[in-house]
Structure 1
Amino acid sequence: MTETGAAGASESPRPRDSATVMLLRSVAEPAGSGFEVYLLRRASSMAFAPGAHAFPGGGVDRRDVELAPGWTGPSPQVWAQRLGVDTATARALVCAAVRETFEESGVLLAGPSTRELVADTRDEAWERDRRALLDRSLSLAELLARRGLVLRSDLLCPWSRWITPRGQPRRFDTRFFAAALPAGQQARDVGGEADRAAWYAPAAALSAWKRGELPMLPPTMISLRQLAEYTAVTEVLAAHRDLTPIEPELDRVDGRERVLLPDGTTHPLR
């Protein structure tokens, strides 16, 4: 029995603005791909998508809206045009992308100037700052100002926009970005919302998903499928992407939920 839609869809909460970053690093071609992407496994205790593999990301924090950090690269006004939102929302989304990437991987897309990058963030002082962002005792703007840094918006490439289907208790309006791992920095498993972190070639991650080894939500799986079409990080960052919002529906078949995409294809919810 097939039933499209979800009970209570008319009472669905408004999606929360959020950002996620596909963090990429170049690897030697014999590995089967010219690059890898960083994936986290969400802890089983998480309310949203427990056990699913995902990219670093999360919701916009109010201080991403209220406090403007030091900034270099395309301006919030330019990002507003790229993302199809107002300037304040665009700034908050870019801030959330940078903040969440640092919180969940230890990688900071910032530097002292337009031409410079933070070289390493693995010492105890950086770890204290990362934890302070997590417990909200420190904002991204405050962290950058204290360290004499500016957010490097030029390191982000807009990729796609996904909206959680109606009928779900937690809904997100998520902008996906791509970014290269800055030279000198290393992503690390910092725990918290994730209980595992690893680098994967996109095609290898897809194969593991098909075998049932890497559960993931459709936006992650489809993003990996898109990444697998490229052979180098530079190609990904140079891509021109359509940011038309994708808002799937839930399709129930014999009591099991699938995601029905606007193009008519269906995918397992995990």
Structure 2
Amino acid sequence: MRPAATVILLRDGAGGPEVFLQHRVAQMDFAAGMTVFPGGGVDRRDADASIAWQGPPPEEWAAHFDCDPALARALACAAVRETFEESGVLLAGEASGAVVGDTGRFREARRALVSRQLSLAEFLTGTGLVLRADLLRPWAHWLTPRGESRRYDTRFFLAALPEGQCADGETTEAVGSGWQQPADALADARAGRTTVLPPTWVALAELAELGSVADALAAERSIRRITPRLIRDDRGLRVDIDGQEFTL
């Protein structure tokens, strides 16, 4: 089972907090056509211990996500890398402590990261930046249901959109993307206008209960590993999460 990292990006909108969602292309090997948060599998180079780091140490993340510190570090690095690759949002900063603003000057480096011509460690070293683990919050831990051909062990992080940055849809993995209030995203899923995986559904429902980005960042989370159970019968495809069923 491949470890993976997903980042729930938030910003405050006129009607409350908004979340950044992407609509994956139909040709993807995993979650094809689904509405998702940015994220992906951990690359072996995400475990590079030379990656400049600022914020809670890997040991703290390991305690949140019930894993060893080396994996916890790789997960946080994958979260930052994937978010930058898929949305252009960079959770990094200067050694002095200032968070990166406009990321347009890193456009070529972003393409090189996507093509794997450049590693996260090489990118940060070349730009003099450090990974800002303090901009992330632990949110959830989900496993792909048993019986699926491709399974992921995914940790979910939460992050606020840094000031001066913009999230975009410049990725070949999505046909569209944008900001939406969690309640509206859930309404689209219930109406069949979009399709979301169980972890996305649950996260949106949790975020819909919060009044601001600050509330979300301050929320006390008790992370436990969740493995949904898929049910296929004459009623269609459903998923069971701790005894509660959802229709997909």
- Into which bin does the TM-score normalised by the smaller protein fall? over 0.9
1:67 offset after TM fit, Å? 4.3
**Distance (Å, rounded) in 2 between the aligned partners of 1:108 and 1:43:** 23
Q: For residues 29-68 of structure 1, what are the structure 2 equivalents within 5 Å?
A: 31=15, 34-68=16-50
Query: Residues of 2 paired with 1:255 and 1:132: CA distance?
Result: 46
- When normalised by structure 1's length, the TM-score is 0.89
Cα deviation for residue 257 of structure 1 reads 2.4
Alpha-carbon offset, residue 65 of structure 1: 1.4
Offset from partner CA, 1:222-242 (integer Å, 9 cap, x none) = 110000010000110111112
Structure possessing the higher radius of gyration over alpha carbons: 1
2:104 counterpart SS class: coil
Distance (whole Å) between structure 2 residues aligned to residue 68 and residue 104 of structure 1: 23
Structure 2 CA distance for partners of 1:265 and 1:184, relative to 1, 3 Å: same
Cα pair 1:218 1:268 within 8 Å, conserved? no
> Deviation string for 1:29-75 (max 9, x for gaps)?
xx3xx210000000011111111000000000000113431010101
Query: Residue in 2 aligned with 1:247?
Result: 227
Is the Cα–Cα contact under 8 Å of residues 95 and 128 in structure 2 kept in the other structure?
no
**Alignment partner of 1:72 out of 44, 54, 59:** 54
Corresponding residue of 1:21: 7
Which residue matches 2:151?
A: 171
Q: Partner of 1:150: helix, strand, or coil?
A: strand
Q: Measure, in 1, the Cα distance between the counterparts of 2:58 and 2:96.
A: 15
Q: Distance in 2 between matches of 1:178 and 1:114?
A: 23
Shift of residue 255, structure 1, vs aligned partner: 7.1
In proportion to residue count, which structure has more strand? 2
Q: Distance between the aligned counterparts of 2:82 and 2:96, measured in 1? A: 21
Q: State the partner residue of 1:232.
A: 212
- Asked whether the 8 Å contact 1:106–1:121 carries over to 2, the reply is yes
- Distance in 1 between the 2:104 and 2:26 partners? 26
Q: 2:248 aligned with 1:266, yes or no?
A: no
Measure, in 1, the Cα distance between the counterparts of 2:198 and 2:96. 35
Instruction: Return the match for 1:138 from 118, 121, 125.
Output: 118
Point out the more displaced range, 63-72 or 155-164.
Answer: 63-72
Structure 1 CA distance for aligned equivalents of residues 46 and 82 of structure 2: 11
- 4+ aligned runs moved over 3 Å, structure 1: none
**C-alpha distance in structure 2 between counterparts of 1:255 and 1:214, whole Å:** 20
Q: Which residue of 2 aligns with 1:183?
A: 163
Contact 1:73 1:114 in 2 (8 A): no
For 2:180, the equivalent position in structure 1 comes to 200
**Mapped partners of 1:120, 1:264: distance in 2:** 45
Shift of 1:209: 1.0
Give 1:129 deviation, angstroms. Answer: 0.6
Aligned sequence identity (%): 52
User: Paired residues, what number?
Assistant: 248
Give the whole-Å Cα distance in 2 for the aligned partners of 1:26 and 1:185: 14
Checking the alignment, whether the CA contact within 8 Å between 2:89 and 2:165 is kept in structure 1 is: yes
Q: Which amino acid aligns with 1:107?
A: V
Aligned residue number for residue 256 of structure 1: 236
Q: Which residue of structure 2 lines up, in the alignment, with residue 100 of structure 1?
A: 82
Unaligned runs of 5+ in 2: none
Query: Among residues 97, 110, 113, which one is paired with 2:92 in the alignment?
Result: 110
Native 8 Å contact 1:102 1:130 kept in 2? yes
Opposite residue 192 of structure 1, the aligned amino acid is T
